[in-house]
Chains A and B, each alone.
Chain A
């Protein structure tokens, strides 16, 4: 069992003015400029600027990652259309720079921050995580990002911060799917604060070593590997610390089908389909279906977060 994240004493946290200072060194977090762009011939799959990161084998699974074109060509990102191939075709309209993130609620440090300022000083790491969609398919993805806890700590959440909510950009001009009321826009997701501070919870800015493609949630998205994929909110513009549970998009849309917790659980079926097994995208014909693991295989690390909870009720 991985121990819980130690509570960070306020004195240990570097003052935000240092973090958010434009004069601070970039520290190689984001390699920008044309020099970072490899010629297309050398990198036929992954596009976007290369990132500087270190691999984190401790938090990586051994499974073979899915191909780039699978991860960037098969997306649920309803802001760009409800078919799986629509986000990759439509998400080019999203402008990911400049990008700002507004921090509000039960935290000492609030305000609107430029994303590049927020990212300064955060060491990027690559983690190969299992990804399990609520629709019973799965992938294995080499994300590049940083623990959410290291970002949240900078805002000094107060003791009243029991939950943290996230909001996706709302701009139907950039996100044409928002012109249709399929969900109650903007998309909102949230975590209990201990889930948010768990070392597995990742803020993602990259994929396959490069800047995240728009259709995968650029420029900033959440990944909670033991929860169904819809918890991993994309293109985040707002972080809100609250004392009450956030009203999350899918839970509002169909509360009997999508819970707030949405932990991967083969024992608790979706009302309309089984969650006992899943199909691994990209696996060969007749060898793709595999059993779904409790907490998507991360039970050892996260099951203790839910001790004593009825997971059928809090699905």
Chain B
């Protein structure tokens, strides 16, 4: 398939791809998971898994997109063989199912930015009540619509005028805002206690296998590796563009942002919390919203005696969060749009279908927190299977051939050695198996009726929804091949 639109420069590509990787997970999930897993003890495996999960899979995604110029259905079908196009469809579906509720999350962030900017957020002393009143009303549907309209408009404008331009402004602004917040946070009295907690390792935690599994999960969910999103943006990279160096920059850049956000949140909470700081950071709250939407607004109101200063910093925080959510949402909308385009539709028609479907299918998550939690659970764990399918495609093609001809092929700035073969062939499949078994077996312990597919968060609901989607896609494999791979030999 002839590709006509490309990112104008390496920096445009890097900022756009960083926009995928940096999402709300860097800002609110990272701090909570670090707090629950012993601070510094968590950071050591977290760095190790950046090297043996995230970066190798980001490299694979860049290479699959650049070499095939097709969305995941075509890319996996062309690389692993036509019998496996359904795996690409599964990868696409998982990220699209996440898009439905992630747009709701982006809407929450926009709503809180508006509230902080207008001063409304500080008109209440009870932030739990403020959150409940918002989340139980119809307002999340309106802000979900706002997020989907913004995302749809950016994708409608295309790669250069839409994705690249928006990410250049939003990701650059996000990084600047985070650094401003970091400087403010570390200069608060007692902030050093938070930083100390963040970096102090505890032996009992390092020896706990759960800390290692949580570190791997954070890398799997937070970097965007294995989602098919980077693969989609890589379709638009120029032939002379490098793969390995850009992938490494995205992986390290993403985890750097997590670290900046972590230092900011730990410093702020330890400096301003009048009660147990650790309990406040590690509390989940409904759909893991506790720290961000309930506790941090309270802390921002106590940041200084000046309401103006507090308003500015709260607005900056929620603006950063909105930018992080939107730039990730763009990539999810683009993945679904590009897939539809691969079936022969124009960008205009595709975006209309995707944005409308995205809005309608996101409404249940906007209105019902149990539905939201169910979808987050089922497709969040489903992402691990997506990572396995990408690894499988490379193994089927021949990892050494893939590395030599594609990753180290035309345009490569740095060459990847044979260590890559070992990681993709052995380590990633082991990581996938252990992680899947751990999550699924754990889920049987927190629900006595673990087999019941109508429960919110258990093994039964995962298996039921995965099996329906996988069976459907396996049956439709010939249709995928006929439509998406019709021009390929």
**Real binding pair:** no
Q: Which residues of A contact B (CB under 8 A)?
A: none
